[in-house]
Structure 1
C-alpha cells in the first residue's frame, strides 16, 4: 500500500514538473508598435500564469498588412495563432469565414454590461460574440476654443455653422484654415464619411437587408458638404491627400480652427511643446439640421481562432488583457481609449486625462461601419468614388451612382429606388 502511495506521488510530481517545464504556448500577432506597448503586460501575464506562455509575434505597423497576414494564415490552414488581435471592421469577415470561435458562452450579461455597448456590438456577427474589446476609439471634432471665444462664436453644431465660422475666422485672419479632415483615399476616408452620412440622415449599407444608400439625395448632400469645404476654401485642397497625421500636424501648428480626428491626437496636441496646448477642446461631430451626429467607432479586441488547440488558455489571455486593472494601467501608459465604461471616470485616469468624460459622451453616440463580410471590398469601392468626387474627377451624383451600383453588384442586390 505504501509503495502504491509513493508511486502515485512520484507520478503526480512528475506530471506537475512536466507541466511546469512545458507550459501551454499561446500566440497572437500585433502591429510592432502595439506589441512593444503590450510587452510589459505580456511579461506580467507570463509571470502570473506559469502554465501558459504568451508569445506576441510582431507584424507590420500597417493595419491592412496585418489583416492580410492573418487571412493568409487562415487560408493556408493550420494557422500558428491562437488569438487574433482584431480591428473592429475585421470581425464579420473572419467570423463569416469560420475562422473564429464564438465567445458568447464565456461572458454573462453582467460581464458584457461593463463594456461600451458599441464595442460589444462591434464584436458580434449573426447574434454571436467573436471579439472582446481591449480598447475603443471614435471620431471626434477638435476646435480652437480660444479663437472661437475671441471672435464671439460658440462651437458649431451643424455643417453650415462649421463652414460659416471657418470662413469668418479666416476673414478675420485668426487662422489660415478652417476645417481639416482626412481626405486621402484609404480607410480613414470611409470612416470620416460615415459620420457625415449619418449627420445628413443617410446611410451606406444596411447590414440586415443589404440595401445600399450611397446614391440617395441625402448621401449626395453629404458629398456636397465635403466639396463645399474645399470650394469655400475652409479646407485646403491638400486634405484630399491627408491621413490622420498630416491633419494632426497642420492643426498643431495653430493655423486651423477645426479638425476631425481620433482621440490619440489629444495627447500630442497637449504636449508642452505644442503651440495649441490648452487652446482646444473636443465635441461630437456636427450634423445637418434636424439630424444627429455619430462618431465612427473604431478600436481593437481579441478573438480566439477556430483551430486553436488551447482555447481555454487563450481565454485566460483575453480575460487578463480586458480586465479593468490591466486596461487602467495600459490606458495610463499609452493614452488609448478604454473599452470599459467605468474607466472613463476613473480618478487615476482623470488626473492624467481630464477630458475622458467628454470623450465618453462622444464614443457612446457611435456608429458602426457596415458589419458585413465584404466590408473591405465595399470600403475600397467607396474610397475610389468618393475620392473622385472630392477631387472633381466626377460629379458627386455620378460618383455616388457608380459607387452604389458597384456595391450592389458586390452584394448581389438589385437597385431599390425607395429611400
Structure 2
C-alpha cells in the first residue's frame, strides 16, 4: 500500500512546484521536524525578497525521505536542493553522480571564494574526502560540533518527588544507580499520573542509541559505531563489553521496577517528547533538537539538561569530535537554473538564516559569534553549547577513503537497536549480541572486499588505533606506525 502511495505523493509535490510562471521555483527537501516552522517562515521571507525565485519547501520524515529521493531520481525529477539522508550519504550521492559541486553553480570564482570565507577556517569547514572531492565542494557545515545526546529532566516532577538539594533545586542523577532510583521515586510520586522515564521503543535504533549507546554506555567508556568497527584495538565490531551489557541490564531493571511510561513499545520519538513536555515523564534522553519541540508542545514546561549518568565507580568519558568538514544541503544533478539555486544555497548558509535558527532553538551554529548565551531561547541550549566547547576532544580519524567502505556495507538484520530491544523485552538472551557481532564482522569483511574490487585502498589497519585510550579526556595524537 505504501509503495502505491509514494508515487502519488511525488506527483503531488512535482505538480505543486510547476504551478504558475514567471519565476524559477527551487524545491528544497529535508527531514527537519523540530525547526520546521522556522524554516517555513524564513522561506516565505526569501520568496518575498526574491521575485525571480520561489522556494517550494517539503519536510519529510527520515524514512520516507530516502524512499522519495530514490523515486525522484529514478523518475528524473529530483528536488533541486536537498539533504542527504540514511543510506544516501554525501559520498554515495557523489558516487551515483546525483549531485553537482557548489563550485559549478556559483556565479563566478570570486563569489565562491567569498562564500567559502564566511566559514571559520580554524574549524576546517571543508575537508577533502568528507564534503570535498577532487578539490570541489559538494556541501557545507551549518551546525557546530555537539556534545551529543544528553539527559533532559522535568524539574516540576523532580520537585514533586522530593529530588532536590538544600535550596529546593532539582538535582539530576549522575550515576546509573541514581538514575534508576530517581525513576522509581518519580513513578511512586506520580501514582499513575506520571512515570520516571520515557522510552520510544517503537524506534529501537534511535531509542537505544539516545538512551543507552551514546549516553549511558558511552559516558562510561563504551564506544559504539554502526558504520565502522567499534573496537579500535582490533578493527572489528565487538559487543562483548561488560559496560554495554550492564547498561542493557539497567534498562531491564528499570522496566521491571515499573518506572517506564506505559506504552513504550508503541511510542516513537515525537510521542515521547510530547509525554515529557506534558509532565507525564520525569526524564528523557535526546539531543539539542528536542528543546524546540518541548517548548512548542508546552511553553511552560519546566525542564533542564544534564550530562548522561555514568556507571557507578567509573570516571566520566566525554565524546570526541571529527576533524572538520560537515554536510547539509546538496544540489541535484542536472542543475538547470544555477543562478536561482545559488541564491537558495547562499541564503541557507547566511549569517541571517543561521542566527535566526539559533534564536528559534534549532541548534548551535557553525559560526561561533552567533552562539552567545543571550541568543538561545532556552538555558539548556546555552549549556549544551558550553559543554560542546569545553569537553569535546579530537578523536581517532579514519582516512576519508577508508570511510567509503560504509557505503558498501549491507544492512544487517536484526541490527543493534532491534537486538537490544529483543533482549530488553526478554525475547532473546544476551547471546544475541554475540550473533550480531559475527554477522556485523562478516558484513564488514564483504564490504571491504567489494570496496577493494572497486579500486579503493582499504585495509584493516585503517580502523585500528592501538594507542588510543577512550578514558583520557584529551585530544588524541596518534603515534607514528
Using the size of structure 1 for normalisation, the TM-score is 0.72
Q: CA deviation at 1:236?
A: 4.1
* SS of the residue 2:285 aligns to: strand
Aligned counterpart in structure 2 of residue 151 of structure 1, from 163, 174, 178: 163
Match runs of 1:26-41 below 5 Å: 26-30=26-30, 37-41=38-42
Bigger shift: residues 63-72 or 176-185: 176-185
Separation of aligned partners in 2, 1:229 and 1:293: 25
Aligned to 1:131: 139
Contact 1:96 1:373 (C-alpha < 8 Å) held by counterparts:
no
Separation of aligned partners in 1, 2:179 and 2:436: 27
Separation of aligned partners in 2, 1:103 and 1:157: 45
Aligned to 2:353: 326
**1:95-125 alpha-carbon deviations (Å, 9 max, x no partner):** 45443345599678864438988x988x936
Contact 2:194 2:261 (C-alpha < 8 Å) held by counterparts:
no
**Per residue, is there more strand in 1 or in 2?**
1
Aligned to 1:218: 243
Kindly tell me: are residues 125 and 169 of structure 1, through their superposed partners in 2, closer, same or farther at Cα, counting changes over 3 Å?
same
Structure 2 unmatched runs, 5+: 1-20, 104-108, 166-170, 398-402, 448-459, 467-481
Asked whether 1:179 is paired with 2:179, we answer no
Q: CA deviation at 1:412?
A: 2.7
Using the size of structure 2 for normalisation, the TM-score is 0.64
Bigger shift: residues 370-379 or 308-317: 370-379
Asked whether 1:403 is paired with 2:454, we answer no
Kindly tell me: are residues 263 and 295 of structure 1, through their superposed partners in 2, closer, same or farther at Cα, counting changes over 3 Å?
farther
Kindly tell me: are residues 44 and 246 of structure 1, through their superposed partners in 2, closer, same or farther at Cα, counting changes over 3 Å?
closer
Match runs of 1:86-101 below 5 Å: 86-87=84-85, 90-101=89-100
Structure 1 unmatched runs, 5+: 1-20
Separation of aligned partners in 1, 2:132 and 2:241: 27
Separation of aligned partners in 2, 1:314 and 1:304: 8
Match runs of 1:312-351 below 5 Å: 313-332=340-359, 334-340=360-366, 341-345=368-372, 347=374, 349-350=375-376
Kindly tell me: are residues 294 and 230 of structure 1, through their superposed partners in 2, closer, same or farther at Cα, counting changes over 3 Å?
farther
Q: CA deviation at 1:394?
A: 0.7
Kindly tell me: are residues 179 and 71 of structure 1, through their superposed partners in 2, closer, same or farther at Cα, counting changes over 3 Å?
same
Match runs of 1:9-408 below 5 Å: 26-30=26-30, 37-46=38-47, 48-49=49-50, 53-56=53-56, 58=58, 61-74=60-73, 76=74, 78-87=76-85, 90-102=89-101, 111-113=118-120, 124=130, 130-134=138-142, 138-145=148-155, 148=158, 150-152=162-164, 154-170=171-187, 176-189=194-207, 191-192=209-210, 193-196=212-215, 197-200=217-220, 201-205=222-226, 207=228, 211-236=236-261, 238-267=263-292, 269-270=294-295, 277-278=301-302, 280-288=303-311, 289-294=314-319, 301-311=328-338, 313-332=340-359, 334-340=360-366, 341-345=368-372, 347=374, 349-350=375-376, 352-361=377-386, 372-373=406-407, 377=411, 381-395=415-429, 397-408=430-441
Separation of aligned partners in 1, 2:420 and 2:349: 36
**1:165-187 alpha-carbon deviations (Å, 9 max, x no partner):** 32344456688522223322354
**Per residue, is there more helix in 1 or in 2?**
1
Kindly tell me: are residues 282 and 125 of structure 1, through their superposed partners in 2, closer, same or farther at Cα, counting changes over 3 Å?
same
Q: CA deviation at 1:243?
A: 1.6
The number of aligned residues is 385
* SS of the residue 1:304 aligns to: strand
* SS of the residue 1:212 aligns to: coil
Q: CA deviation at 1:68?
A: 1.2
Kindly tell me: are residues 72 and 217 of structure 1, through their superposed partners in 2, closer, same or farther at Cα, counting changes over 3 Å?
farther
Aligned to 2:473: none
Contact 1:191 1:296 (C-alpha < 8 Å) held by counterparts:
no
* SS of the residue 1:143 aligns to: strand
RMSD across aligned C-alpha pairs, in angstroms? 4.5
